[in-house]
Amino acid sequence: MIDTILQAHYREKLAVTTSLRPTREQVITATELARKFNVPFKDRDGLSLKTLASNLNIPGLLVVSSLKISYVSGQQEFFFHPGLARLRIKGLKYGKTDQMIRAMSLKEGETLLDCTMGLGSDAVVASYVSGGTGKVVGLESSTVIAVLVEHGLQTYCDPENDIAMSMRRVKVFNIDHINYLSGLDAGSYDIVYFDPMFRYPRHKSPSINAMRNLANPEPVKRETIEKALRVARKRVVMKERRNSPEFKRLGFNEFVGGKYGPVAYGVIER
């Protein structure tokens, strides 16, 4: 059901193409993606991405190239990259505190359900901490984001093996978190985590800006937090702007985060 709705949503504004001189494999991958989303596959025919998108009257294209799959819209390109996750993991290796991990109180061997996976940076850092004996599952309702990030998590060649393994271990589901939470048994995960799109965007992170057109902008529902509290064995954590009214609306009244940082982590203990 969800897939049908999403495909209808993308049909009007998406097509798949390749880089200018694609290999046979790239054309096959692009054709398969087009079929999956039920959107057109278009040969590049030597055209620029801007011209191709304008000819099709769509805001952006999924582009399969030799190194990656990306979504290109105007000047913006969205693709998977470990970004800040690498720096945060390096920080952890040097004994630095990661505020998200502190808020989650996440330990090796524990399980985390990331209900708003996005680019997967938080999920990868959590996967590094929970390790091979733990489990991290990422939920993402935007099909384009879910497909690009899952592909990136499974294929990105990181020079550091433990970081690459942290990516490979994250399991991705393209689903709305409320539906997934509804189907889980009580206490299925140690921690349930939310990092929704900010109600008032900060426009600072280029990668989040590039994915803004694709992301689900809906606020988290109170009912979702109730379901998350049933599923979490230890705690539910939400990242938002410091002092965001969202914390109060959703029942968060304990906070973790650097004193002067722009974001805070709300915690509800079980």
Ligand X SMILES: C[S@@+](CC[C@H](N)C(=O)[O-])C[C@H]1O[C@@H](n2cnc3c(N)ncnc32)[C@H](O)[C@@H]1O
Binding-site member from 17, 70, 111, 116 for ligand X (CB under 6 A): 116
Binding-site member from 22, 60, 152, 196 for ligand X (CB under 6 A): 196
Q: Does residue 215 bind ligand X (CB under 6 A)?
A: yes
Binding-site member from 60, 82, 118, 266 for ligand X (CB under 6 A): 118
Footprint on residues 141-170 left by ligand X (CB under 6 A): 141-142, 145
Of the two residues 41 and 80, which places its CB atom closer to ligand X in the complex? 80
Of the two residues 42 and 177, which places its CB atom closer to ligand X in the complex? 177
Q: What is the distance between the alpha carbons of residues 211 and 209, in angstroms, rounded to a whole number?
A: 5
In Å, how far are 11, 30, 89, 228, 262 from 36, measured between CA atoms? 11, 10, 34, 30, 39
215 close to 127: Cβ distance less than 8 angstroms: no
Q: What is the distance between the alpha carbons of residues 177 and 220, in angstroms, rounded to a whole number?
A: 10
Residue type, 228: A
Q: Is 83 left (phi over 0), alpha (psi -120 to 50) or beta?
A: left
Contacts of 142 (CB under 8 A, 6+ apart): 6, 174, 214, 215, 216
Q: Does residue 229 bind ligand X (CB under 6 A)?
A: no
Of the two residues 18 and 121, which places its CB atom closer to ligand X in the complex? 121
- Find the part of the chain contacting ligand X (CB under 6 A) among 18-26, 48-56, 120-128, 261-269: 120-128
29 close to 69: Cβ distance less than 8 angstroms: yes
Q: Does residue 177 bind ligand X (CB under 6 A)?
A: yes
Q: Does residue 82 bind ligand X (CB under 6 A)?
A: no
Q: Does residue 218 bind ligand X (CB under 6 A)?
A: yes
Give the closest residue to 77 by CA, choosing from 218, 173, 214.
Answer: 214
Q: Does residue 73 bind ligand X (CB under 6 A)?
A: no
Q: In angstroms, what is the minimal distance from the CB of 1 to ligand X? A: 15
Interface positions with ligand X (CB under 6 A): 116, 118-122, 139-142, 145, 176-177, 195-197, 215-216, 218
